[in-house]
Chain A
Amino acid sequence: MNKWIFALSLALPATASAAETPAVPPAASATQSEAPRFWAIDAGLRYGFIRDAAFDPYSDSDLLLQGTVGVSRTALVADRFSLAPGLRWDSGSTRATARGADTLLLVHRVTMPVEGRFHLHRRIYAFGRVAPGALWQRATVQDASLPETSKSSGWVFAGDLSAGASLMFIDTRGPKFWFTPEIGYAFAARRSGGLSPDVGDDDPRQFGTLQLSGTKLSGWFFRANVTATF
């Protein structure tokens, strides 16, 4: 998986560069006097670094790669500052082999970010983001000691605290396209409870839980998005 991430990361600049050439208008003339109001829709990748030992059964490394999409709308403007609430969904999974058992961890993180922006230039703004929300995870273990797959899923509180900058690289009369790198720290509560076999309600057998600690998906993260504003 690391090779794939590496290749993808290296491929992104090339793709973006190719798109940038015909689209970027002549350089902007001056800093703007007031922050613009716009809708923003973004998509990209989120690289999470999970140091929690409970993550080890599900991944050969500490990396959790997620896709991310978000939408926001400028709500308040004061001089070069603006405030934009929004909605964001990060989703990803990781699979591994843990002591011979096949494991999978599927993660969905839904947050409601509030983004404070400072517009340095009409093509650049820096931002800080507070994003409370919730995280849903499903852990799956398939071990030869039991024919059935053991599963556990549920919601926990989660949130992000991050900062970054958006750099416009395509400026059209309609939508404008920005490259948005971001770094931050993700918080998430640990999910409690073990994994139970995935059997039907009519299965008469009783099972004990597989006591793997719930993963606490907290840690530093990078996010790289392409944002369209209009």
Chain B
Amino acid sequence: MKRLFALTLCAMSCATIAVGCGDRPDVWDEAPSASKTKVVGLAGAVALVDDVTHRAVMLLPREDQQLDRASFPVGKGVLRVEASPDRKRLLVLSSGDVPRRTSKDERPSLTVIDASDASRLKSRRFELAAPRSGLSVDPRGRWVAVFAAGDVATTFVENPNEIVLVDLEAPAGASPTITATLRSFGGRPERVTFAPTLTLPEGPRRLLVVETDQDVSLLDLDHQHDAVPRPEITVRLSPGGSTKPMRPAGVTFHDGSPSRNDDARIGVRISGDSNVVTLELAAATPGGPHDFSPKINLTDVGGVPSDLAFVQTDGGLRLAALVPSLSSAVLVETETSITTVVKLPAPYQRLSLITDVVERTALTDVALLWNATTSSSGVAFWALGKTAGQPYRSVEVLNLGGSVVGVRDVPAPRAELKVLESGGRGLFVLDLASRTAAPLTTLGKATVTISPDAERMWAFQVGESRLSSIDLDKLHPTPVVIDRAIQSVHDVARGDGGRSLIAIHARGAFGATVFDARAADTAYSRLYSGLLLEGLQ
């Protein structure tokens, strides 16, 4: 009897250990962290991309400050997370299992979550041959370029000139992923930009512009699904015989005259160099693989330019280069490369065209100049028409008592407003129509979120619980009480036509406070917690 008793209990103990000690999934043992969780605001949702659990948790607001949650798997090893420019898609680039030892291990991938319809979210995953950390998204939403960014090495050996194009609207039967290897003269891609539709000799065309550390390549996107895709055109920037590489520092585009199809241009700024390059996309000689050919124009603007834009003046199209070392702007005549220096009241470094907002019917452009280093620089309006017999010299300064380090656009219907971020404690709301700037003082360095409906903006301090709503019509600030530290805020559309403000709190397993964005009142807010604990069971 004694033996039977002992044997029974021993058997139960062994069974307990064998059966009961089954481990739970490892995800429960790793706490979420702000460094491994990326928060991205979309048009109708907020995405929390959790690299520990390999998923994107979509927060979808409903009426009465309710928040639906939906979880979508993403690839392992998140390298980059971006929203598409229209904020309807979430793109997650992942390395997969590294090293890949079995057939079940994940390959590198790009996951695209389509949130254009919040009631029917869709996810697609595109497998990639090798992990890449660079991502550039077509502003028109069709293409995604994946490339090896220099800042993150993902594999022992990489071909930096291999660019994977993902066509999100690939025609039936065509592969959505296309791999293009750029001919290299020793350079490696640093920036990839999707050009707007340009009118070329054989019709409208989308181009991908790849800036390497010494040249510029143009890839014809409209012929990438051809049986033999058209190769890229590489434009070497270094003059023949020169050993000094000319590193592109930014590009700008112009479609040219509406009546012509051979004068689309690309302007290229060179890092640390006083030259600017203009590429005129003219007709190619027959027989070649391409139907256009870039004609190169190199112009010295007298100093290193900090920004570049094509502008329409009384004298025609010019390439405007801001040269802070000269406190000037230099206008380059695109046909002849003749330059005109326009002295500016301060060494402005950035330029934005605001013609569409302030003078829609004007034949000449108006530019907003900003980010000068002097304390009285503020912003300036630069009219590029002829004023009082002085061509291009009408510069009106709006002194803000300090420099402006950032300009935020306000969408339509209040596109005439810009939010100016100063380096210190304060914001300005610039009205381009009346050329006034209303100051808003803050108790700390404010981060600004502008609502997509242009009715309000939100100012908050990261890591603090200070949040204010500012009505963009009357510029009336309203403090909003929130009892947890804010990481980010997102003004998101609801399915019922309303809007919700979702404030994300990065402590613990992440939380959120949801307000009605159009009538933010703490009395009607709703608090959520443990968002990254949900959906794992």
One of B10-18, B98-106, B386-394 at the interface: B10-18
Kindly identify, within residues 31 to 79 of chain B, every residue whose CB is under 8 Å from any CB belonging to chain A. Answer: 31-32, 52, 65-67, 69
Kindly identify, within residues 1 to 32 of chain B, every residue whose CB is under 8 Å from any CB belonging to chain A. Answer: 1-2, 4-6, 8-10, 12-13, 15-17, 19-25, 27-32
A75: Cβ under 8 A from any B Cβ: no
A173: Cβ under 8 A from any B Cβ: no
- Whether B65 and A61, one on each chain, are in contact in the complex, defined by CB atoms closer than 8 angstroms, is no
Q: How far is the CA of A54 from the CA of B16 in the complex (A)?
A: 20
Q: How far is the CA of A167 from the CA of B2 in the complex (A)?
A: 10
Q: How far is the CA of A49 from the CA of B21 in the complex (A)?
A: 9
Q: How far is the CA of A10 from the CA of B2 in the complex (A)?
A: 14
Given A57-B533, A204-B523, answer yes or no on A2-B12 (Cβ-Cβ < 8 Å): no
- Whether A145 and B511, one on each chain, are in contact in the complex, defined by CB atoms closer than 8 angstroms, is yes
Interface residues on chain B, number (Cβ under 8 Å):
54
Q: How far is the CA of A56 from the CA of B535 in the complex (A)?
A: 12
Interface membership of chain B positions 507-537, coded 1 if the CB is closer than 8 angstroms to chain A and 0 otherwise: 1111100100000000111111111111111
- Whether A13 and B5, one on each chain, are in contact in the complex, defined by CB atoms closer than 8 angstroms, is yes
A118: Cβ under 8 A from any B Cβ: no
- Whether B23 and A10, one on each chain, are in contact in the complex, defined by CB atoms closer than 8 angstroms, is no
Pick the contact of B527 from A47, A141, A146 — CB < 8 Å? A146
- Whether B21 and A2, one on each chain, are in contact in the complex, defined by CB atoms closer than 8 angstroms, is yes
B526 surroundings in chain A (CB, below 8 A): 206-208
Pick the contact of B507 from A17, A56, A145, A181 — CB < 8 Å? A145
Interface centre among A99, A197, A204, A224 (most CB of B within 10 A): A99
B490 surroundings in chain A (CB, below 8 A): none
B466: Cβ under 8 A from any A Cβ: no
Q: How far is the CA of A146 from the CA of B505 in the complex (A)?
A: 9
Interface centre among A5, A98, A204 (most CB of B within 10 A): A98
One of A82-90, A108-116, A210-218 at the interface: A210-218
B13 surroundings in chain A (CB, below 8 A): 6, 9-10
Q: How far is the CA of A51 from the CA of B342 in the complex (A)?
A: 76
- Whether B1 and A169, one on each chain, are in contact in the complex, defined by CB atoms closer than 8 angstroms, is yes
A34: Cβ under 8 A from any B Cβ: no
Q: How far is the CA of A208 from the CA of B513 in the complex (A)?
A: 9
- Whether B1 and A208, one on each chain, are in contact in the complex, defined by CB atoms closer than 8 angstroms, is no
B505 surroundings in chain A (CB, below 8 A): 145
- Whether A143 and B529, one on each chain, are in contact in the complex, defined by CB atoms closer than 8 angstroms, is yes
Pick the contact of B508 from A143, A220, A222 — CB < 8 Å? A143
Q: Which residue of B lies closest to A21 (CB)?
A: B2
- Whether A98 and B20, one on each chain, are in contact in the complex, defined by CB atoms closer than 8 angstroms, is no
- Whether B4 and A57, one on each chain, are in contact in the complex, defined by CB atoms closer than 8 angstroms, is no
- Whether A145 and B10, one on each chain, are in contact in the complex, defined by CB atoms closer than 8 angstroms, is no
Pick the contact of A224 from B2, B9, B67 — CB < 8 Å? B9
- Whether A17 and B20, one on each chain, are in contact in the complex, defined by CB atoms closer than 8 angstroms, is no
A76: Cβ under 8 A from any B Cβ: no
A59 surroundings in chain B (CB, below 8 A): 24
A2 surroundings in chain B (CB, below 8 A): 17, 20-21
- Whether A141 and B1, one on each chain, are in contact in the complex, defined by CB atoms closer than 8 angstroms, is no
- Whether B15 and A145, one on each chain, are in contact in the complex, defined by CB atoms closer than 8 angstroms, is no
Q: How far is the CA of A213 from the CA of B537 in the complex (A)?
A: 7
Q: How far is the CA of A92 from the CA of B362 in the complex (A)?
A: 79
- Whether B24 and A61, one on each chain, are in contact in the complex, defined by CB atoms closer than 8 angstroms, is yes
Pick the contact of A98 from B4, B10, B28, B67 — CB < 8 Å? B28
Q: How far is the CA of A2 from the CA of B527 in the complex (A)?
A: 37
Interface of A is mostly: mixed
- A26 CB, nearest partner CB in chain B, Å: 12
Kindly identify, within residues 160 to 204 of chain A, every residue whose CB is under 8 Å from any CB belonging to chain B. Answer: 167, 169, 179, 181, 197, 204
B24 surroundings in chain A (CB, below 8 A): 56, 59-62
A6 surroundings in chain B (CB, below 8 A): 13, 16-17
B2 surroundings in chain A (CB, below 8 A): 16-17, 20, 169
B25 surroundings in chain A (CB, below 8 A): 56
B22 surroundings in chain A (CB, below 8 A): 51, 61-62
B28 surroundings in chain A (CB, below 8 A): 56-57, 96-99
Q: Which residue of A lies closest to B19 (CB)?
A: A49
Q: How far is the CA of A97 from the CA of B509 in the complex (A)?
A: 12
B52 surroundings in chain A (CB, below 8 A): 99
Q: How far is the CA of A157 from the CA of B28 in the complex (A)?
A: 28
B20 surroundings in chain A (CB, below 8 A): 2, 5, 47, 49, 61-63
Interface membership of chain A positions 76-106, coded 1 if the CB is closer than 8 angstroms to chain B and 0 otherwise: 0000000000000000000011111100000
Interface centre among A12, A59, A167, A211 (most CB of B within 10 A): A211
B530 surroundings in chain A (CB, below 8 A): 101, 141, 143, 145-146, 150, 210, 212
Q: How far is the CA of A13 from the CA of B507 in the complex (A)?
A: 48
A144: Cβ under 8 A from any B Cβ: yes
A60 surroundings in chain B (CB, below 8 A): 23-24
Pick the contact of A143 from B8, B533, B536 — CB < 8 Å? B533
- A107 CB, nearest partner CB in chain B, Å: 15
- A49 CB, nearest partner CB in chain B, Å: 5
Pick the contact of B509 from A99, A169, A204 — CB < 8 Å? A99
A5 surroundings in chain B (CB, below 8 A): 16, 20
Q: How far is the CA of A10 from the CA of B509 in the complex (A)?
A: 39
- A161 CB, nearest partner CB in chain B, Å: 18
Q: How far is the CA of A181 from the CA of B9 in the complex (A)?
A: 8
Q: Which residue of A lies closest to B511 (CB)?
A: A145
- Whether A99 and B30, one on each chain, are in contact in the complex, defined by CB atoms closer than 8 angstroms, is yes
Kindly identify, within residues 32 to 75 of chain A, every residue whose CB is under 8 Å from any CB belonging to chain B. Answer: 47, 49, 51, 53-54, 56-57, 59-63
Kindly identify, within residues 425 to 464 of chain B, every residue whose CB is under 8 Å from any CB belonging to chain A. Answer: none
- Whether A206 and B527, one on each chain, are in contact in the complex, defined by CB atoms closer than 8 angstroms, is yes
- B280 CB, nearest partner CB in chain A, Å: 56
- A74 CB, nearest partner CB in chain B, Å: 23
- A151 CB, nearest partner CB in chain B, Å: 12
Interface membership of chain B positions 496-510, coded 1 if the CB is closer than 8 angstroms to chain A and 0 otherwise: 000000000101111
- Whether A179 and B16, one on each chain, are in contact in the complex, defined by CB atoms closer than 8 angstroms, is no
- Whether A208 and B5, one on each chain, are in contact in the complex, defined by CB atoms closer than 8 angstroms, is no
Q: How far is the CA of A50 from the CA of B530 in the complex (A)?
A: 23
Pick the contact of A16 from B5, B527, B531 — CB < 8 Å? B5
- Whether B534 and A212, one on each chain, are in contact in the complex, defined by CB atoms closer than 8 angstroms, is yes
- Whether B1 and A9, one on each chain, are in contact in the complex, defined by CB atoms closer than 8 angstroms, is no
- Whether A211 and B523, one on each chain, are in contact in the complex, defined by CB atoms closer than 8 angstroms, is no
- A50 CB, nearest partner CB in chain B, Å: 9
- Whether A145 and B12, one on each chain, are in contact in the complex, defined by CB atoms closer than 8 angstroms, is no
Q: How far is the CA of A48 from the CA of B8 in the complex (A)?
A: 17
With contacts A16-B2, A143-B511 known, what are 5 further pairs, Cβ within 8 A? A47-B16, A54-B537, A62-B20, A100-B508, A169-B2
25 A–B contacts from the bound complex (CB under 8 Å): A5-B20, A17-B2, A20-B1, A47-B12, A59-B24, A60-B24, A62-B24, A63-B16, A63-B20, A63-B21, A97-B28, A99-B32, A100-B508, A144-B507, A145-B505, A145-B507, A145-B529, A145-B531, A150-B530, A169-B5, A197-B529, A207-B528, A210-B530, A211-B69, A220-B19
Considering the complex of A and B, which 5 residue pairs feature the smallest CB-CB distances, nearest first? Answer: A100-B31, A144-B508, A63-B20, A146-B529, A145-B511
